[in-house]
Structure 1
Amino acid sequence: MDDDLRTATLAAGPLLLRPWLPDDVPALIEAYRDPAMRATLRMLVTDEADAQQWLRVRQEGREAGSYFGFAVVDRDLDGELVGNVALKYPAPGTGSAEVGYWTAARARGRGIAPQALGALTDWAFEAFAGDGLVQLDLLHRMNNDASCRVAEKSGYGFAEVLPARPPWPLGGHRHVRVRSQGVR
């Protein structure tokens, strides 16, 4: 895999999207104390061991080229962790991949998610254009109105309602963004 992909960092206004680091463990544990996050995310982080495992999964995914997670930090706030964005499963030749994100509770309502997701989207379409990436999907639970707003602000149009399936007891929404013809 290209070293540029392994070490990619992205900028979006005051936000820096960078690979996750071992020093992020305390901020990661703090972010996962939010009940809203705990209710919607698959992997829970409750202590240092969980956080280290969470970081290990992201590092292994990056090394394998199957998952590119970025810590979103605010440079105006001394590098405070404000969120996470990720590109999942960009397999060559499939034409599509999935994006995901979360925003730390104390940082919500500041437009961080659309900014960070926009930077990730632009990077993904550019970095994986040679692999045929033309579509990104964003999935969220049906009762997550904030994620619908983020998707729409980020250019991800509503595509369909998804049925409930384990481990999720509620259905969801799939939003889609297609690579524009002018993007290279």
Structure 2
Amino acid sequence: MSESPILDEHFATLHKISMSDLYLGFLKKVYPDVLPHQNFKAFVKNRPPNPEVYMPLLKRHFEKVTDEDVIAINRLHQGYQKARISVYHGIDQLAAETEILTPTFQEEPVWSWFMKRGRDEKVYEAFDADFQQLSEDIEHANIEKINQTLKEQRREKRPDDGFIWLMLTEPVLMGEVLDSFNDTEIFSKWIKGEFKEWEIEF
């Protein structure tokens, strides 16, 4: 079991927080530029990603890169990360591709982006290899970010506040966590670095 009672079975408490009017009101106040705010999942989808994370990769492989490219491959990263996490839960890789990656590619804005950028097979294959590595690097950075926050809260003798603080300061990351994980034991192993992403090939 988790050391924090907030990290309870199936993330029930954190899901409850994410659906509360108080939390959604907080997101509307802090991130007024993000629309729509119907629910937490909509916020996670529509919060603009940091272009600095993706621009070097995009410019290395494509010409005339725009913000639309950044938004599309951020969604793509979220799909790949979720697919890897589903494998950590014990789901077969083929099932992860069918149930998670295929719908990710079929949804907008990824579909239109792929139809544009995937025309040249060789160019896209080169991009894809680098992109999947970047996606894994982002996942590692996410783990480090979570661990650092929890460590700081433990240092201040407020271990239960760590996940609350993450919900306030890293809402997109926590949205990805709540969307991808359904087992807190798997999550605990994930943040301890017990899974080997390089063994998963999509």
With structure 1 as the length reference, what TM-score do the two structures score?
Answer: 0.30
With structure 2 as the length reference, what TM-score do the two structures score?
Answer: 0.28
Give the structure with the higher percent helix: 2
Larger radius of gyration: 2
Q: Which has the higher contact order (CA 8 A, sep 6+)?
A: 2
Give the structure with the higher percent strand: 1
